[in-house]
Structure 1
Amino acid sequence: MGIATMRPHLSEGDIERLMRGETSEERAGIAHRLCRRIAADPLTDAERLHAEEIIKILAEDAADLVRRTLSVTLKNSPRLPRDVALRLAQDIEAVALPVLEFSPAFTDDDLIELVLAVTPPKQAAIAGRETVNPELTSLIAEHGAAEAVSVLSRNRGASWTNAAYEHSLRRFADNEDIKEGLISREQIPVHIAEKLVSLVSGQTFDLLVNKHELPAQVAIDLAAGARERATIDLVEQADRTHDMEQFVHQLDLNGRLTYSLIMRALCVGHMKFVEHALAVLSGVPHNRVWMMVHDAGPRGLAAVFDRAGLPRKLLPAFKAAVTVFHETELDGGANDKARFRSRMIERVLTQFQAIPKDDLDYLLEKLDIYSEQADAQEEAAEEPGRYISNG
């Protein structure tokens, strides 16, 4: 029975039952049925007005159970009037939280005013909405309780601003949950990643350096051993940077762009880094270096190698590694980068024996890491078949 057919049967007695029924459970049952119809049935203008009358009656019910039934049933409905949504938002948390998190009835200004006036759990409900605009995100970060900022940090629909990040780190520098939430975001500004370096440790630190690009100087300091807990090196950081040219220039300015670093990067297949390194050291534009390395044959490679000032004794290994790079391809499977790098290292080690001990140790260590990654992925891929065969 829809609203249209229900209207004649909604007598004063029915309204009286809604307002003063013998039990809250009875009124809640009536409320649930009515709200489901209001949310789902097509309504004329007259029926919509009558539905709003019913909603307001339910919102004023003395029983928490009835008001919560209204809130839960109409939390996603555009038919919940704004004034009723605002009334429910000021109710007890059991009633308010569903509409605060889901209701489309609120305006942006409503949500801003509510954040400044409600309890931490209510702030957290607002922070968990499907979308949170930049202004509201900044407001919660600046004025919200830790509970709300934590929810906001993990909300993929929240639009974070630089100000929001700054407020969060200023207010909650000691809150591990919030810091982990920020680090778990898909992207964070580089300067925020830099600040987080000094605020986190252990697995959270590992997640930061493995998930996000760090400023070149920070990466250099970490790789140089300025912090014992560092778990990255410059070769791995080079693979993550979005501005390779700037990263390489920073390395050069700090005296860290060594032939050993370039060889290590080449041997694990970080060719883009090698090209930019040769360009910086030789003074030759990157596009010309690319041609000399890949298209100009052995003489072109030797020419840019010499111009970059790299030791002649390493040229045979350099040539061998470039050749291996050209002959080795990504296989397109899961974790193919790890397998590619393993094959690169294996072939370089096979073709060139006179590798300095430190570089040899480094490559052997990387070989173990990449091999383990590739093996673990292959075992995971085989597991479903193995399970079936055992069944």
Structure 2
Amino acid sequence: MGLTSKKVLVLAVLAAVLLFVGTVWLWPRLSRRNWRAVSGRVGLLLAIQMALFASVGLAANQAFGFYASWADLFGQETDQGVVVDHATGGRSGGPLQVLEARRVEGAAGVRPHTGGQVQEVDIAGRTSRIATRAYVYLPPEYFQPRYRTRTFPAAVVLTGYPGTAKALVEKLHFPRTAQRLAKDGRMQPMILVMLRPTVAPPRDTECVDIPRGPQTETFFAKDLPEAVTAHYRVGRKPGSWGIIGDSTGGYCALKLAMHHPDVFAAGAGLSPYYKAPIDATTGDLFQGDKGLRNRADLWWYLKHMPAPDTSLLVTSSKVGESNYKATLRFIDGVKAKGLTRISSIILDSGGHNFNTWRREIPATLEWISGRLDGHGNRS
């Protein structure tokens, strides 16, 4: 049974309950002061604690989508995938392969032309040689005859670290929210490409081109848009693409929009930070390259590089988020540059979690929709 299976959670909870009942039942027999009784009491208490810890951990993982599998949890997921080159021409080949198509849960209508569709895909980067899985949301209009010649704007949507791409669909409800907002006329129909920034698991690459390592920034800024544009009807000119992310994905979204304004006309960071950390999950990202380290530091980039012609959105909350003061400082820094446009969502309270981001996602989708054009014109 998989890590995210409800059966695993039920078994863990059942084990905790049975251990508690068993402890209460056996405690009188273990009340003596000999070493066997004491060892029995200690063993039962430890077993209950472990069962409770496992139950809470499994419930939290299901709620927040930290790990997708047992191998992911224990750091055993190291295979970066094998890139398979396919014949070009037509939408059946290329670096993007559709594995499965499903309806949008919670959407009004079960058919693609009324409720949209979510496709699970494999994407292989031809330049970066990175392969990863993603989910693509196609709006109902994509399947309607009157839009058959139309191109659509697209937005990359990134999770935090470690995160799972499925959480963007099932926990944060990006497809359902986009479908509802477009139906209500609050945003234009858009294609969403949803994946996690951990494209070289288990390493947290922080969307950096690591010297002699995974070329993650190249994958997101070059390979991913090329693969999606070759397969779907996405606008090909500047102004067609945006990027959204939460936490680590938020940092990536801001950085990629600032580094590549010719690709991303808008970038939204939900609860982002502004400088790549160096820790046990990242390893040495820059291999002593000071220029690469500086470029990944958004504070340094604002101070020393020309203002990028892009639009940025940042979110935080006055109570519950540790990035509140840093976000206000970042807003002031962007405003001082002039050319780059900056917007924000500041909540009175809200922690670093899915519930907070679900409150911010509708406004974020409306914001990014208003700054993209499927024909490639910047708004």
State the TM-score bracket (shorter-chain normalisation): under 0.3
Tell which structure's C-alpha radius of gyration is larger. Answer: 1
Q: Given the two structures, how large is their TM-score scaled by the length of structure 2?
A: 0.25
Question: TM-score w.r.t. structure 1 length?
Answer: 0.24
Larger relative strand fraction? 2
Higher RCO, 1 vs 2 (CA within 8 Å, ≥6 residues apart): 2
